[in-house]
Amino acid sequence: MKSNWKSLAIIALLSSFVTLAAYNFLGFNKQDVVFNESAPASTPIGRLAALTAPQSAPGDFAYAAEAATPAVVHIKTTITRTVRQQQIPDIFRDFFGDEFGRGNGGAPQRQRGQASGSGVIISQDGYIVTNNHVVQGADEVEVIMTDKRSFKAKVIGTDPLTDLAVIQVNAKNLPAITLGDSDVLKLGEWVLAVGYPLDLESTVTAGIVSAKSRRIGILDQNIDRNAEKPDSPVEAFIQTDAAINPGNSGGALVNLRGELVGINSAIASATGYYSGYGFAVPVSLVKKVSADLVKYGNVQRGYLGIIPVELNSLRAQELGSKIGRGIYINEVVEGGASAAAGLKKGDVIVKMEGQNVDSDAQMREIIGRRRPGDVIAMTVNRNGDLRDFRVELRNRNGGRDIIKKSDNVSVSSASASLSSLGADFEELTATDAKRLGIDGGVRIKRIRDGKMSDTDIEEGFIIVKANGKVVRTMKDLQGALNSTKEGEGLLLIGMYPNSSRMYYYAVPV
């Protein structure tokens, strides 16, 4: 993983094990989700609430725990994986003939497993927010309330780039949590983590906010690297030392008023268990992403149209910048939002929406809360002078319109579909094909995660057949994938560069 935590050996997502596979959207839904939100601290009601609510001091945890616990649910998922039996050793194939190893010895089998996580009720009519990795690839999702009621849930939408998902149960008058304001959280402020760690009953732990806008690089694995213009993950985690463990994923991080300030998502650990650092998606981002998933089926992302560089003193010296903190604009995309607003290469963004900005993670979080057409107030340092700009965000196509899920395709449908297998592919060159004695094929360049990593397949494998169809090009592989029915596996036949032996792999689709 590409982050400063690499020396810790592992940065573990928090579900009992990371589930894999496809989205389970239910179509274009124009309904709005209705949140319970706390009054902004800047309003008279908000100031009164702050004065009358329990203060952030040790021992004031009971009120927050009592307020938040009923809204945090246990999520259990069932996942079906397709696995391949052990290959027949070469000695038997030599004796019985090559076709022996292509029979039942390599036949795929379906195995069912279970995973466990947490979720937070965000509306009384049954919408629940959790982590993408808690429900991703699940065949069945069960939600268990604190009062022991159990419901089957449907997945409304998922967003791997923020690791958030929304599910829904058929119930009314549920105890929805109140959404707080993650922007006003202070370092050292007390918070509680509520969830279902290690498959235990509802559990509350306490800690402090130890950092904000923290990027750890854990979501980089979710980037669609086959995309022509891949989106970057939005990581601006709240870091806390409240004890969280596998199973806490999707659970609540709350302040001492019992208001949701984050969704617990990850831990930094050498073992996969609590080692002192946990990370939560801030509620400011949770609110926007979940509302988009409910209303549109996908996240509406706004784009500044720049290539940013996070400054420090060394980077500033290399770029010739007069200041050492802020976001240096290394390039302005022609026809993009920033170009239209008058921003230029070499400008340094120092404020957005009145907040001082000095990290890429913080900038992406602020943008991540907005949609195309929204206007961002921005202060820029240009050659030592401060200038104010108003930038109207654009969608990925350069417009201001909402993009439905069905329209949200960044590359050709072939590449987008193949990327869902969790790997990067390339066609064999004529030279390589001739050297291997085959007419062509598609090589697996890199296995990221998801369906491919759920099999024994290894990087470098060359696919020559898929579901009985000859594969020489990416288009051939796409055609085989398109013809695969829901619930069936994609049976790949191929070879490795240093072996003439043919292998079979069943990839769940």
| Class of residue 15 by CB neighbours under 10 A (exposed 0-12, middle 13-18, buried 19+) | buried
Residue 156: phi and psi, rounded to 5, are -85, -40
* CA angle (309, 225, 336) in 5-degree steps: 50
Distances (CA, A) of 437 to 97, 116, 469: 20, 47, 18
| Class of residue 380 by CB neighbours under 10 A (exposed 0-12, middle 13-18, buried 19+) | buried
Number of Cα atoms under 13 Å in the Cβ half of residue 55 = 2
Secondary-structure class of domain 306-392 per CATH: mainly beta
CA distance 265 to 387: 38
Distances (CA, A) of 395 to 299, 352, 353, 477: 11, 19, 19, 31
| Class of residue 26 by CB neighbours under 10 A (exposed 0-12, middle 13-18, buried 19+) | exposed
pLDDT at 11 over 50: no
Identical topology for domains 306-392 and 413-508: yes
Q: Are strands 36-37 and 178-179 parallel, antiparallel or unpaired?
A: parallel
Domain limits of the chain? 4-296, 306-392, 413-508
pLDDT in tens, 126-147: 999 999 999 988 889 999 999 9
Three-state secondary structure of 195-245:
ECHHHCCCEEEEEEEEEEEECCCHHHHHCCCCCCCCCCCCCCEEEECCCCC
pLDDT in tens, 62-115: 999 999 999 999 999 998 765 544 444 444 344 334 433 444 444 445 567 888
- pLDDT at residue 137 in the model: 82
The residue assigned the tokens 């979720």 is 119
- pLDDT at residue 41 in the model: 58
Encoding tokens for residue 404?
């439905």
Angle between helices 283-296 and 360-368 (to 10 degrees): 40
Looking at residue 57, its amino acid is A
DSSP string, 249-285: TT-EEE-TTS-EEEEEEEEE-SSSS-SS-EEEEEHHH
Region 481-500 average pLDDT: 80
- pLDDT at residue 29 in the model: 45
More confident call, 112 vs 378: 378
Q: Are strands 11-13 and 355-356 parallel, antiparallel or unpaired?
A: unpaired
Encoding tokens for residue 2?
């590409």
CA distance 237 to 374: 23
CA distance 268 to 78: 26
Secondary-structure class of domain 4-296 per CATH: mainly beta
More confident call, 303 vs 52: 303
Distances (CA, A) of 84 to 106, 192, 244, 503: 6, 44, 35, 10
End-to-end CA distance of the chain: 26
Chain mean pLDDT for the chain: 82
What H or E segment, with its residue span, contains residue 348?
strand 348-352
**Is domain 413-508 given the CATH code 3.40.50.300 in the classification?**
no
What amino acid positions are annotated as catalytic residues? 133, 163, 249
